[in-house]
Structure 1
Amino acid sequence: MRVRFPQTAYILGAIVVCVLVYFFYSHNTHKANVVLSADKYIPDRSAPQGYFSGERKSAVQQQNFAPIVVPSKRNSSFDYKAAMKEMNDAQVPMDDPRLIQIIRDYYIDPPSLEPYTLENPGRLEYSNGQTPFVDSRLNYIEGGFYVEAGALNGEKGSNTLFFEKVRRWNGLLVEADPDNYEVLKTKHRKAFSINACLSTKKYPNMVTFNKGFNRGRIYNNKEAEEWVKREKNLPLNTIQVQCFPLYSVLLALGQTTVDFFSLDIEGDEMHVLETIPFDKLNIKMMTVEFVHGVNGEETLRSFVESKGYDSLLKVQRWDGGVNDIIFRKKGLIH
């Protein structure tokens, strides 16, 4: 026999359910806001490495942190450019102590301690989708370290600003174009920065660089010359820029673990990757632009996978402005 309930009973039941849902949501939201406030949040250091925390996931506001300090000893009377030219000519190895010291003392700029001056200060995510994907695959870790090569002006399309503002990561911004770098410095990023390019060789070298805002690139071979000719509305505007191997710059910072490496340098990505001693650097995740290199997507993918990585995702934007592959180290545990 079917039991019939009065209509009022259904209404009362619905109200009770709504009230329970509201209190459950309010309790969890309040808990997250209290625990994860910018001033009071303390990471759970007792949790095992790789521990997934829903609270950490919901930390989506800017947090304050003190960037790491790397002592340098700059001597104003030392002609470091002449010394650098000698090392370029000698093609010194990536781990040459003199090279490491000069990079640390004369080329790397320290993180800013001033407040951000961003065009969009209220935003937390500035990338084209790469950042939230990497964040989730790294289990929302705090206090990591990033490298962004092709950092542009430090804000537009940045794949790393979220990690700095929200996850309190230290990092390194690499930008070769001095015009872009000048603007980058005004943003007051809480990261080390260097106005140089990543070398496509396993030694430092001075190269010709064609400026072009987000289309600037090394211009020292036939491949690059043809690429610049094909690019619409891109005039020839060359300067001389110092390049360093990525490994050398990281040694100068005493940093051999990189949680996230963003590589977008308009065509020389493969050449830079070939210089990296993956047995000496622990790079956990990478996003690499693939569209401008002559080697092609599959060659790039195969090379990185041969170094012990899985290809997780290909990111492309409808207008062709983004063409990245995201890689993660095999067997990665955080």
Structure 2
Amino acid sequence: MRPAVVPSSNAALPPFIGPNLVGTSFTSYKRAWWKKVAPCLAFISAFCTAMAVLLVWSEAAALRKQAFDANMTRDYVLESVSMDNPQLIAYIRQVHLKSTTHQDPLNANETSEEKYVVSLSQSKREGIYVEYISRIGVTSSTTWLESNLNWRGILILTEPKNFFEAQRSSRNPRSRVLHACLSTDTDTKEIKYHQESEVQVTKLGDGPNSLVSDDGFPTTRLKCFPLYSVLLAYNITTLDYLSIDSPDAPDGQVLDTIPWDIIRISILSIRWHPNHSETETKNFIDKMTSRRFKHVHTTDTGKWIFLYNTLRKI
């Protein structure tokens, strides 16, 4: 048997195929695989991060909407603030009583109600009024008095569009416009209000504080001040003419908030809804009579006009 030939140390060795070559090929393969997979992993990571951020944002937005909806549907009442509170009066005077900008001419067509007021006041000049309108499409009954007899006063409007139109008008520079409603008790309130719907403010415990007639209307917030607070903010306690044009029974409740031993009103017009019962109507007339007012006229628009009787004893 021939012995195995042992190569000499100087002879050339054949290529070695072993672990080193296999390891190099595997590393190259991993690098190639990673280059292909890395973009996909990066995309998946970015996608998951974006979805997580979107989910957190959605949850936060839902919480904000829930808080907003709760605020928009809740009525707030300042029960501990009196009608003559100095801070409340200053707040109304400085923040809410707006002067007019005289950008638009004043539509000064005399209404039938103004004609009767002129007659009762004996064509008085420089009279003082307060007019409250919480109905849609109602013509103001004080523009002619301002333009022709130089009256001044406060125009209170609940409808934002009407308020901005009035603020742009050329009313007496001493007149003020107020975007608000009149409270039906001695408390100041903030209620939800559906624009272009009629506002009905009720006493606490008597039902909702605002009338929602159509869910399609945009909702906003509306302040409701006692009439006495508004008068004090305007620095008056004597009125030549008070006009209240609102759809339902709360008109009488607004008058119940007035301290009649302090406030004097010469002429008062009010819308009394024909759906009121005879008993409600009689009680209202009796109440006005006890305040020294006499029902003297009903306008063609359905408003009752009362005249203060200074000679009558209570």
For Structure 1 versus Structure 2, the TM-score category normalised by the shorter chain is 0.5 to 0.7
The verdict on how the C-alpha distance between 1:116 and 1:179 changes in structure 2, with shifts beyond 3 A counting, is: closer
Residues 92, 135 of structure 1: alpha-carbon distance in 2 compared, 3 angstrom cutoff: same
Matched-pair contact (CA < 8 Å) for 2:135–2:246: no
Query: Structure 1, residues 205-250: CA drift from partner, whole Å, max 9, x if none?
Result: 112334336x44437864888x876xxx996654321111111011
CA contact (8 A) 2:78 2:187 kept: no
Match of 2:227 among 242, 246, 250: 246
Q: Is residue 131 from structure 1 mapped to residue 114 from structure 2 by the alignment?
A: yes
The structure-2 alpha-carbon separation of the partners of 1:250 and 1:224, relative to structure 1 and needing over 3 Å to count, comes to closer
Match of 1:186 in 2: 168
Q: Give me the whole-angstrom Cα distance separating, in 2, the residues matched to 1:299 and 1:224.
A: 24
Matches of 1:279 and 1:167, distance apart in 2: 29
The structural deviation recorded for 1:183 is 2.0
Could you say if the C-alpha distance between residues 209 and 305 of structure 1 is closer, same or farther in structure 2, counting changes exceeding 3 Å? farther
Cα pair distance change 1:259/1:269, threshold 3 Å:
same
CA distance in 1, matches of 2:257, 2:232: 14
**Structure whose alpha-carbon radius of gyration is higher:** 2
Comparing 185-194 with 255-264, greater Cα deviation is found at 185-194
1:2-21 to 2 correspondence within 5 Å? none
8 Å contact from structure 1 (residues 206, 241) kept in 2: yes
Gaps of 5+ in 2: 1-75
Q: Does 1:323 align with 2:302?
A: yes
Q: 2:139 aligns with which of 130, 133, 157?
A: 157
Cross-structure match for 1:207:
191
Identity %: 25
1:110, CA displacement in angstroms? 2.1
Aligned-partner Cα distance in 1 for 2:188–2:169: 28
Where does residue 82 of structure 2 map in the other structure? 93
User: SS state of the match for residue 149, structure 2?
Assistant: coil
- Number of aligned residues: 230
Q: Which runs of 5+ in 1 are unaligned?
A: 1-86, 317-321
1:265 maps onto 2:253 in alignment? no
Take 2:234 and 2:220, find their aligned partners in 1: how far apart are those partners?
27
Establish whether residue 304 from structure 1 lines up as the match of residue 253 from structure 2. no
Corresponding letter in the other structure for 2:156: V
Distance 1:224 1:266, change over 3 A: farther
TM-score norm. by structure 2 comes to: 0.65
Instruction: Report the 3-state secondary structure (helix = DSSP H, G, I; strand = E; otherwise coil) of the residue aligned with 2:222.
Output: strand
Distance 1:325 1:108, change over 3 A: same
CA contact under 8 A between 2:134 and 2:246: conserved in structure 1?
no
Structure 2 CA distance for aligned equivalents of residues 235 and 300 of structure 1:
36
Alpha-carbon displacement from aligned partner over 1:110-142 (angstroms, at most 9, x marks no partner): 244x36424xx4x531x3x11111111111110
CA contact (8 A) 1:152 1:180 kept: no
**Contact persistence 2:131–2:142 (CA under 8 A):** yes
- TM normalised by structure 1 equals 0.61
Distance in 1 (alpha carbons) for counterparts of 2:194 and 2:251? 16
Amino acid at match of 1:327: F
Residues 156 and 324 of structure 1, relative CA distance in 2, 3 Å threshold: closer
Quick one: distance in 2 between partners of 1:289 and 1:306? 19
- The reply on whether 1:313 has 2:297 as its aligned counterpart is yes
